[in-house]
Amino acid sequence: MNALRDSHCTPIEKGSAPLDVKRAHELLVQVPEWQLAGDSKSISRLYRFSDFHKTMAFVNALAWIAHQEDHHPDLEVGYNRCMVRYSTHTAQGLTLNDFICAARIDALLER
């Protein structure tokens, strides 16, 4: 059982405080391939694929998760790659929702 992967996002009110850097580092342990931005306001991960079809299949699956969780990442998509970046705009930084979605997206590629 993965606590983050099995959790769901909750609404974040505008002006809510973002996670502090210490808590962000604690949560990164559960999504080890994600990286914390230098300003500690976002996390990102680059996913690589063998071709465009697999990349787009991943993007579509990711979009479904984002829709279900009502928490949407910034994406940079190319032929065989997808950069995913999460941040909670209403908190102007990271929240638990960002890490939940990161874990749920990572689960797409688990075998």
CATH number at residue 69: 3.30.1360.20
Q: What are phi and psi of 25, to 5 degrees?
A: -65, -35
pLDDT at residue 1 is higher than 90: no
In a domain, 69, yes or no: yes
Residue 50: DSSP 8-state: S
Do the Cβ atoms of 101 and 73 come closer than 8 Å?
yes
**Does residue 1 lie within any of the structural domains?**
no
Q: Is residue 68 part of a domain?
A: yes
Q: Is residue 8 in a domain?
A: no
Per-residue confidence (pLDDT) for residue 72, from 0 to 100: 97
Assess if residue 91 is contained within a domain. yes
The residue with greater pLDDT, 111 or 105, is: 105
Query: Do 42 and 24 touch, CB atoms closer than 8 A?
Result: no
> Could you report the per-residue pLDDT of 3-61, keeping only the tens digit for each?
999 999 999 999 899 999 999 999 999 999 999 999 999 999 999 999 999 999 999 99
Please tell me the pTM assigned to this model: 0.94
Show the beta-strand stretches assigned E in the chain: 35-36, 43-48, 74-78, 81-86
Domain count, the chain: 1
Residues 6+ apart with CB under 8 A from 64: none
